[in-house]
Amino acid sequence: MLKTIGLLVIAAMPGLAQDTAISAERIREHTRFLASDLLEGRGTGTRGGEIAAEYIATQLALAGAKPAGENGTYYQRVPLVGIETQEGATLSAAVWGKSLDFRWGDEFVGVSQTQRPDTRFEGEAVFVGHGITAPEFKWDDYKGLDVTGKVLVMFTNEPPSSDPKFFDGRALTYYGRWVYKYEEALRRGARACIIIHTTPTASYGWEVVRNSWGREAPFVKLEAGAKALSLQGWITREAGEKFLALAGRNLDDLLQASERADFKPIELGIQVRGHLPAKIRPLETRNVAAMIPGSDPKLKDEYIIYSAHWDHLGIGTPVAGDAIYNGAIDNATGCGILLELARMWGSLPQKPKRSVLFLSVTAEEGGLRGSEYYAAHPLVPPAKTAVDLNFDALYPWGRAANVVITGAERTNLYPLAQQIAKRLDLGIAQDAQPEAGHYFRSDHFPLAHAGIPAFSIGHATEFLGKPAGFGEQAYQEYNSKHYHQPSDEFQSDWDFTALAQAAEYGLLLGKDIANQDKLPDWRPGDAFHR
């Protein structure tokens, strides 16, 4: 059972006096508290995570937002199963008397979807390129091969292209996400699925994979009789090279071959064995939900959603003696903005026509589980939801010159989004890394999948008063040194002006959407069109 700390036990960190301006200082203090060592990295199903959820609920209550969760509370229970693969896990490959053993953490990580404490499997390896079947792009990596009971080996991402009509050009589609690849492998009856990691194809280093997959991972509880992969895992590029060499194959040659439409799957003749001992436990965790009613008697049954995930990675593998993965930027910053938006909305003397739901979700780091659960069990019907404006990992590096709103262009809200950016003297920047598939990696995506217009109001790419290229350089440094690392810690010299700007942008956009006559929608023909 979750232990309730009590809303009034955690006092408001910033001052309680109300004012009518977005406060960078309030966002800063929310971020500082949520990223403190006291919360031990806000792991899903941990005491620190519970404190984070209680703190957010407390602040929403103080802002005047009413409970919108279950049974008159601020919480939506999200029942999950925590699976932690143990260090004794093994993975081996053999062919013609030659064999390889891969080291857990250093060369492979992963988890068994069977949700059993001891999983063993064996199967023949088949290389399936990028593991994609996309009829609309006339692409099929399987070419009709029956892979039932096989161990599938593949690259992440998707075939590169400069043609905007082919896999959306540089922009990653859902087909390039590891989530899709495991889903497709399961649909085809595979026994296991192993992705070969390379930094260029994944857009992040091995340490990100290891830190995310080498710890407890949350999953929705399997229904009785449901099929599951014995392993959904990753191996390093170096391990992949050795693995493929057993079959007389070269990794770079196969990567090149996998980028052609005439690629055919290759039965490698390699026998793969795995043993995944795991610690299994029910995970008690919650989404936090609060609402402020709209002023129009008819439209108040429709809602704007502001969302941000409260969780991070908790306590994990120590780096330089530090084992707490604080998640200051990812995503204490987004939660700080969410709480400031609630305060501002609560202080409006005249409320907009539609209501607003403030949603802080759990288990984003485990695969968007909290938002996925909300999309399947919505507190507000999708047909009554105007939009989800999400905040995830914003950079406190000064005054922003622009804002990134990738995905807004897929909706009929884009002209309004442009108008508000112009009003605030902000440019709209293109996603600097469309190949990284950021649109599919944050909590707006499950809501978009349910048909709700949804996108994130993201970080700036350039900052006023900084040298040209500062934003890109700072991003690269964060991504390579601090993303999903214990060093993602609150810094006293951070400047939260850009976060206040993002909050102001979200406030104005949300208010205008709340007062529109009609609900927004996706552009006709978009994959998510209602």
Residue 348 and residue 395 share a domain: yes
**Statement: residue 435 has pLDDT above 90:** no
Q: Which domain covers residue 297, as residue numbers?
A: 24-73+293-515
246-279 burial code (b ≥16 CB/10 A, e <16):
bbebebeebbebbbeeebebbebebbbbbbbbbe
266-285 pLDDT per residue, tens: 999 999 999 999 999 999 89
Residue 65 and residue 87 share a domain: no
Residue 418 and residue 382 share a domain: yes
Residue 334 and residue 270 share a domain: no
Burial class (CB in 10 A: 0-12, 13-18, 19+), 54: buried
Residue 431 and residue 339 share a domain: yes
Residue 8 included in any domain:
no
Residue 273 and residue 164 share a domain: yes
Residue 29 included in any domain:
yes
Residue 97 and residue 55 share a domain: no
Nearest to 126 by CA among 110, 111, 109, 148: 148
Q: Are 327 and 313 in contact (CB under 8 A)?
A: yes
Residue 51 included in any domain:
yes
Looking at the DSSP bridge assignments, the partners of residue 109 are 234
Residue 287 included in any domain:
no
Q: Of 280, 313, 347, which residue sits at a domain end?
A: 280
Residue 393 included in any domain:
yes
Residue 174 and residue 54 share a domain: no
Taking the C-alpha atoms of residue 335 and residue 353, their distance in angstroms, rounded to an integer, is: 25
Q: Are 249 and 48 in contact (CB under 8 A)?
A: no
- 17 pLDDT band (50/70/90 cuts)? very low
Q: Are 500 and 333 in contact (CB under 8 A)?
A: no
DSSP letter at 486?
T
* CATH number assigned to the domain comprising residue 63: 3.40.630.10
Q: What H or E segment, with its residue span, contains residue 344?
A: helix 333-347
Find the range with the poorest average confidence among 221-230, 428-437, 504-513: 428-437
Residue 451 and residue 405 share a domain: yes
Count of structural domains within the chain:
2
Q: Which residue has the tokens 């795991």?
A: 278
Average pLDDT on 398-413 reads: 95
Residue 44 and residue 181 share a domain: no
Q: Are 23 and 340 in contact (CB under 8 A)?
A: yes
Whole-number pLDDT of residue 495:
98
Residue 309 and residue 267 share a domain: no
**Total number of residues shown for the chain:** 530
Burial class (CB in 10 A: 0-12, 13-18, 19+), 194: buried
Nearest to 69 by CA among 286, 282, 283, 284: 286
126-159 pLDDT per residue, tens: 999 999 999 989 999 999 999 999 999 999 989 8
- 13 pLDDT band (50/70/90 cuts)? very low
Residue 15 included in any domain:
no
22-47 pLDDT per residue, tens: 999 999 999 999 999 999 999 999 99
163-212 pLDDT per residue, tens: 777 887 777 788 988 989 999 999 999 999 999 999 888 888 899 899 88
pTM: 0.84
Residue 366 and residue 219 share a domain: no
Contact partners, residue 438, CB within 8 Å, separation at least 6: 406, 431, 456, 458
Nearest to 300 by CA among 345, 254, 347, 356: 356
Taking the C-alpha atoms of residue 485 and residue 88, their distance in angstroms, rounded to an integer, is: 24
Contact partners, residue 83, CB within 8 Å, separation at least 6: 111, 112, 115, 216, 217, 218, 219, 278, 279, 280
Taking the C-alpha atoms of residue 385 and residue 381, their distance in angstroms, rounded to an integer, is: 6
Q: Which two tokens stand for residue 280?
A: 């299994």
67-79 pLDDT per residue, tens: 999 999 999 999 9
